[in-house]
Structure 1
Amino acid sequence: MSKKNKTIPVNRMTEDVHTGIAIERFNFNDLSIEEKAEFKEENQAHRHDRHSFFLLEEGTVAIEIDFQKYTIEPFSVIYIHPNQVHHTITTENVIVSCWAIDNENLNPEYLKLLEEITPVKPLVLEKEIFSVIAEAVLLGIQLSALKSDKLYHSIIKDSCNSLVALVISQYLKNVPSTDKISRFDVVTKTFRELLEKNYTTLKRPADYSPKLNISTPYLNECIKNATGFSVSHHIQERVILEAKRLLYHSDKSVKEIASVLGYDDYAYFSRLFTKVTGMSALTFRNKNLD
């Protein structure tokens, strides 16, 4: 069994942590044996401290994101939200470009869009747009070397935001246009945004309906019509996802996890976990031990 941490590790993609921005490119074939061993040792399950994007140019990567495993091949891009826990399982002959940016430096419009599309799967790009993004990354890397420039931070901030926008635009191709979105979809979208920010404190449908200026029955009607599931289902699923993350990737006790997630009644939390997953929290942890 691998060593667990008290909390889920948060990794930074660059040593220059003060800018809140990173743009890098790695050729795994050029890494020394020591560097490869260090990468493998450090690549335990973790979160990033910012929004992260990976453009796979060559090779194959197997990655797990929130208990979902993906095999990524060229020419693909993947976006990982700071909340998502992930780790690389295997790499083979990989060349990958990556960039990351924190909330402070991210264009507010792009941040809103990223929150709306999370979670996403790896996206295979058309060769033309892949080439555009790959060239933009190379330019961003060149610009990030201009550290003596008086406008350095603005330059790399704008460069990284441009890369983010290019990727968002590709994901949005699969999202219905706004003129086709129903009232149910609009309410559901806003509810999900509220849920993501409040799932540790607001646990009942009646906690959310006033914030949306609608009745609780109508909120349930909207969510059920848009997703097929009730408001309570979505609240419980979000809470249990975070519980799974902490059970699998940290050594917090079940009682500690219940408290972190806003449950003073440990027994109630334990029953809820069993109801949603079909097994106890301890069974889930033991089943998933490395």
Structure 2
Amino acid sequence: MSLKPQFIPLNTFPDVESKGIIIERSAVEDLELERIGTAHRDNYHLFFILEQGSGIFEVDFRQHPIVSPSVIYIQPYQVHRGISFKDGRFTIILINGENLDPDYLDVLKKIAPAAPLLLQPESFEVISDAIAVCLRMKTFKRKLSYSILKNSCHALIGFIISEFLNDSSPIDPPDRSAVIMSNFKCLLEEKFALEKNPGYYAEQLNISTAYLNECAKKATGYTVSNHIQERIILEAKRLLFHSSKSVKEIASQLGYEDYSYFSRLFNKSTGMTALTFRKKSFE
């Protein structure tokens, strides 16, 4: 049995001098496969643009084969790792929330988690040109150079986000139920470990619990309680799979002082006990 860390490894922003935004182009052979192959979280937003080659990313237990040209967006604190890469080159953009345009940040919260996006030739051409501009800006050492680089990267990020929106957004504008569910999911992402009561979310959204449930069922087919439970179970799986914390410690971290209740909830949701799920992760 391999040893697992007590906590899921967390990568913090790697370069203080970068002031919260980094763009780098590299070749696949330069990747530190052992490091990126270990499941981890980042406390920043990551855009991985695969310009040549292919590979496999795993994000929250789902493996995503990718081929160029494509882009992957990893939101902060998602558990992910690179399983394999073959040939080619890629560009990464790292940016922390404080440096991300507030409008972009709001959209990213609503579209996440996002599957890898295969880029159409004309879109990839625009992205490639924008990457070239950003990398060129890095070489200039003059007044306002950081602001110019930041604005260039923001333009690139904005275009990438627009591509995700074009790929996922329906032709018709979203109805009220879809808007409410989008806002609910953003709130849930922040509060799931503390707030389990649908009434709390309804109150924060200034609507009744019954109406929130109605919107949830219309937009997704599931109740608010189902969504809350699903998010909790995802976090439990992350901790069971990627850390050595005991089930009791995980239950407590997720806001359950009643360990037996949490165990029954996990079993009901997954069809197996938490310990069985952990055992499978070692196989």
- Cα distance 1:135–1:180, how it changes in 2: closer, same or farther (>3 A)? closer
CA distance in 1, matches of 2:11, 2:250: 21
Amino acid at match of 2:78: Q
Partner Cα separation in structure 2 for residue 159 and residue 256 of structure 1? 44
The corresponding residue for 1:72 is 66
- 1:261 aligns with 254
Using the TM superposition, give the Cα deviation of residue 150 of structure 1 relative to its aligned residue in structure 2, in angstroms. Answer: 3.2
Q: Secondary structure at the match of 1:54?
A: strand
Give the ranges of 4+ consecutive aligned residues of structure 1 lying more than 6 Å apart after TM superposition. none
Instruction: List alignment gaps of at least 5 residues for structure 2.
Output: none
Aligned equivalents of 2:45, 2:101: Cα separation in 1 = 12
Cα distance, 1:110 vs structure 2: 0.2
Q: Distance in 1 between matches of 2:157 and 2:281?
A: 34
Aligned residue in 1 for 2:19:
19
- Post-superposition shift, 1:2? 4.2
Q: Distance in 1 between matches of 2:52 and 2:247?
A: 42
Aligned to 1:56: 50
Q: Secondary structure at the match of 2:94?
A: strand
Where does residue 91 of structure 1 map in the other structure? 85
Structure 1 gap ranges (5+):
none
> Identity percentage over the alignment?
48
- TM-fit CA distance, 1:145: 3.0
Report the secondary structure of 1:171's partner residue: helix
How far off is 1:190 after superposition?
1.5
- Partner-residue secondary structure (3-state), 2:77: coil
The residue matched to 2:8 in structure 1 has which SS?
A: coil
Decide whether aligned partners of structure 1 residues 17 and 65 sit closer, same or farther in structure 2, where only a CA change above 3 A counts: farther
Of the three residues 74, 96, 102, the one matched with 1:102 is 96
* 8 Å Cα contact 2:100-2:154 kept in structure 1: yes
Residue of structure 2 in register with 1:285 after alignment: 278
Q: Which shows bigger deviation, 150-159 or 71-80?
A: 150-159
1:229 lines up with 2:199 in the alignment: no
Contact 2:110 2:183 in 1 (8 A): no
Residue 263 of structure 2 aligns with which residue? 270
- Aligned Cα RMSD in Å? 1.7
State the match for 1:4 in structure 2: 4
Asked if 2 retains the 8 angstrom alpha-carbon contact of 1:13 and 1:22, the reply is no
Which residues of 2 match residues 90-239 of structure 1 at below 5 A? 90-146=84-140, 148-173=141-166, 174-176=168-170, 180-239=173-232
CA 1:67/1:149 → structure 2, altered by over 3 Å: closer, same or farther?
Answer: same
Asked whether the equivalents of residues 57 and 63 of structure 2 are also in contact (C-alpha less than 8 Å), the reply is yes
Specify the code of the residue in structure 2 equivalent to 1:99: I
SS of 1:84's equivalent in the other structure is coil
TM-score when scaled to structure 1? 0.92
TM-score, length of structure 2 as denominator length? 0.94
Further displaced range: 267-276 or 7-16: 7-16
What is the CA-CA distance between 1:16 and the residue it aligns to? 4.5
Instruction: After superposing the two structures, state which structure 1 stretch, 1-10 or 92-101, moved more.
Output: 1-10
Between stretches 18-27 and 221-230, larger displacement belongs to 18-27
Q: 2-side partners of 1:9 and 1:141: how far apart?
A: 29
Distance 1:28 1:199 in 2: 37
Deviations 1:10-65 (A, max 9, x none): 22574456511110011124x4xxxx6xx122121111221111111111111101
State the AA in 1 paired with 2:273: S
CA pair 263-211 structure 1, distance change in 2 beyond 3 A:
same
Q: Structure 1 51/17 Cα, relative in aligned 2: closer, same or farther at 3 Å?
A: farther
8 Å CA contact 1:248, 1:285 repeated in 2: yes
Structure 1: how far apart are the matches of 2:276 and 2:142? 56
Q: Distance in 2 between matches of 1:213 and 1:52?
A: 33
Q: Deviations over 1:160-203 (max 9, x none)?
A: 211210111001112125x6322211221111111111101110
Determine if contact 1:61/1:94 at 8 Å carries over to the other structure.
no
Amino acid aligned to 1:136: A
